[in-house]
Amino acid sequence: MESRVRAGEKLVEVPEAQDAALQFIGRIRTPWSERKDCPRQGRVDGPECRVEVFAPWREALLGVGEYAHLDLLYWLDRARRDLVVQNPGNDGQRYFGTFALRSPQRPNPIGLSRVRLERVEGDALIVRGLDCLDGTPLIDIKPVTCEFTPKAPPKG
């Protein structure tokens, strides 16, 4: 857990997280090896990143290549989890609740980016629009369907 806390930011005592457990399903390769180099939010005109999927989940990529955009969920394993009020600009002026920010510091440090799928390369996806460190653990891949007719028919 990163220890940095800025003046006026507010921490809470939180219970040990044990309500549900995650398994990492892959790993994300990006150009950024230090936090200071990561963009604040990903941009779809940003650099290509490589999303590597572990066995036994590779077969779950069947059909992903038909989508133009994906929602990726990943685990921000260096974030602290006890901040409730933050000062993202470190200016001592503007404070926001954690749920009014997309900061990595949050009770469940899950990152979410809506990315553009450039292509599928074997067991990996090449995407643009990420903002995370090289080596970040992958949690989920979801297709973005709102731009297209859903493949599955609606329930009767």
Give the residue, chosen from 39, 80, 123, 128, that forms a contact with a copy of itself under the rule CB under 8 A: 39
Distance of CA 91 to the CA centre of its chain: 26
**Shortest reach from residue 11's CB to a copy of itself, in Å:** 10
Q: Smaller CB distance to a copy of itself: residue 14 or 31?
A: 14
Report the nearest approach of a copy of itself to the CB of residue 46 (Å).
13
Give the CB-side neighbour count of residue 154, counting CA atoms within 13 A.
Answer: 3
How many Cβ atoms sit within 10 Å of the Cβ of residue 124? 19
Residue nearer to a copy of itself on the CB measure, 4 or 155: 155
In single-letter form, the type of residue at position 38 comes to C
**107-126 footprint of a copy of itself as x/- string (CB under 8 A):** xx-x-x--------------
- Pick between residue 3 and residue 93 the one whose CB is nearest to a copy of itself: 93
Residues 59 and 54: their CA atoms lie apart, in Å, by 10
Tokens of 44: 């779809």
Instruction: List, in order, residues 6 or more apart from 40 with CB less than 8 Å away.
Output: 131
One of 2, 8, 12, 118 touching a copy of itself (CB under 8 A): 12
